[in-house]
Amino acid sequence: MSTQALPATTAAANTETHQYRHKSQRWQNARGYLGLALLIIWGLAPFYWMVVTAFRDVDYTFDTTPWPTHVTMQNFQAAFSTSTGNHFGRALVNSVIIGISTTTIAMLVGVFAAYALARLDFPGKFLILGAILGASMFPGVALVSPLFQLFSNIGWLNGANYQALIIPNISFVLPLTVYTLTAFFSEMPWELEESARMDGCTQGQAFRKIMLPLAAPGLFTTAILAFISSWNEYLLSQQFSTNITQPVTVAIAQFTGALPRQEPYTTVMAAGTIVTVPLIIMVLLFQRAIVSGLTAGGVKG
C-alpha cells in the first residue's frame, strides 16, 4: 500500500503496524501451518482409520497401531462373498444404475427449467424458484408412508423394480439440479447469446451452438453433485428396495458376518472403502468445480 498519499499521522500508525506485522510474521506462519495440519487431520484421520482397518487381519480388528499392520486382502474378498447372505457386488451395480438413471432424468428435465429461470422472463417465475428451493428442503420421511402404500398396491416393492428407487430419488436430486444449474447459468456471459441472435440465430440455436459448450463445466459439476447425492441416499432406498434392487448404502448398513450377532468390522470397513474410493477420486479430480457447485446457490443470493 502506498503511504505517501496518507496524512502524516496515519502514515506513522501504518509503519507501526507494519513493524508489528513483521515481528509476528513467523508466529503467524507457524499458526497457519498448524491450522492447515488440523484441517487435513480432521478430514483424513477417520477415513484413514477405515482404510487401515480394511487391510488389517480380522484377528487384529482392534489393533491400534496407527500404521498398517497384519496387512491382508481377505476383507475385500469377504466383502464380495455371498456366502453370508450379502450381495455387495450386486448392490454396487444397483447404486450405479440408480445413480445414473436419476442423474440423467434430473439433468434432462432440469436443464430447461434452469435455463428458463436464469434467462427468461415469465409470470410466476419467482414463485417457481421458491417452490423448487422449498422442494430441496422437503423431508424425505414425509414421502415414505404415501409412496410405500402406493408402491405396494401396484406391486413395485418386490423383484427388480428399480423405478421404485429412482422416482423417489428424483424428489431431492431434481431440485438440487435445477438450483445449482440456475446459479451457474446466471453467471454466464449471456451477451454472447445476444450477439448470436443479432447475427440471425434463433434463441434455441444460440443456446445449442454458443451457450451449451460454455455451460459444459457447470453441467458436468451439477451432474457430479446429483450423482453423489443419489449414491449416498439411504432412507428412501431402505424402504423401497428389495433384495435384488438394494443399493450399497443399504447393503453396508445391513452387512452380516459369518458369526451371528458379531459385527464384521473389518469386512464392513473394506466395503466402506470400496464405496468411498470412487467418490474420493471425483473429489480429488474435480474439487474446485465441486466447491463452486456446492456454494453456487449459497453466496450469490
Partner 1 sequence: MSTTATQTAPPTRSRKRGPKSLNAGQGRRGVLLVTPTLILLAVVIMYPLVRAVIMSFQKDSGLDPATGMFSEGGFAGTQNYQHWLLQQCAAAGGTTQPCPPGTLGSQFYDALFVTLFFTVVTVFFEIGLGLWFATIMNRTFKGRGLVRAAILIPWAIPTAVTAKLWFFIFAYEGIANKLLGGVGIKPLLWTGDAWPARFAVIIADVWKTTPFMALLILAGLQLISSDVYEAAQIDGASKWQTFTRITLPLIKVPLMVAILFRTLDVLRIYDLPAILTNGGGGSGHATTTLSILVINQIRAGFNSASALSTLVFLLIAFVAFIFVRFLGADVVQRPPGKEAAKRRWFRRQPVAAEGE
Residues between 18 and 47 that touch partner 1 (CB under 8 A): 32, 35-36, 38-40, 42-44, 46-47
289 binds partner 1 (CB under 8 A): no
Least CB distance to partner 1 at residue 275 (A): 6
- Least Cα distance to 223 among 123, 100, 59, 129 occurs for 100
Q: Residue from 60, 84, 140, 242 that binds partner 1 (CB under 8 A)? A: 140
Element (H, E) at 74: helix 74-80
d(CA 258, CA 269): 15
Q: Where are the alpha helices (DSSP H) in 81-157?
A: 88-119, 125-136, 141-153
d(CA 131, CA 123): 14
Least CB distance to partner 1 at residue 213 (A): 20
- CA end-to-end span of the chain: 32
Decide: residue 139, CB within 10 A, 0-12 exposed, 13-18 middle, 19+ buried. exposed
Region 145-204 residues binding partner 1, contact defined as CB under 8 A = 145-150, 167-168, 170-171, 174-175, 178, 182-183, 186-187, 190, 194, 197-198, 203
87 binds partner 1 (CB under 8 A): no
Region 215-234 residues binding partner 1, contact defined as CB under 8 A = 228, 231-232, 234
Least CB distance to partner 1 at residue 85 (A): 17
Region 46-75 residues binding partner 1, contact defined as CB under 8 A = 46-47, 49-50, 53, 62, 64
The smaller minimum CB distance to partner 1, of residues 7 and 213, is found at 7
213 binds partner 1 (CB under 8 A): no
- In angstroms, what CA-CA distances link 70 with 48, 51, 97, 277? 16, 13, 36, 22
Q: Look-up: residue for cell 447404486?
A: 95
The smaller minimum CB distance to partner 1, of residues 40 and 73, is found at 40
Least CB distance to partner 1 at residue 109 (A): 5
92 binds partner 1 (CB under 8 A): no
The smaller minimum CB distance to partner 1, of residues 10 and 77, is found at 10
Collapsing DSSP to helix, strand or coil, 15 comes out as helix
Cβ pair 75, 266 in contact under 8 A: yes
Per CB under 8 A, the segment of 74-82, 84-92, 124-132, 155-163 that binds partner 1 is 124-132
Least CB distance to partner 1 at residue 231 (A): 7
Q: How many C-beta atoms surround the C-beta of residue 3 within 10 A?
A: 12
C-alpha triplet 102, 219, 286: angle, nearest 5°: 95
- Give the x-and-dash track for 94-123 against partner 1 (CB under 8 A): -----------x---xx-xx-xxxxxxxxx
Least CB distance to partner 1 at residue 239 (A): 7
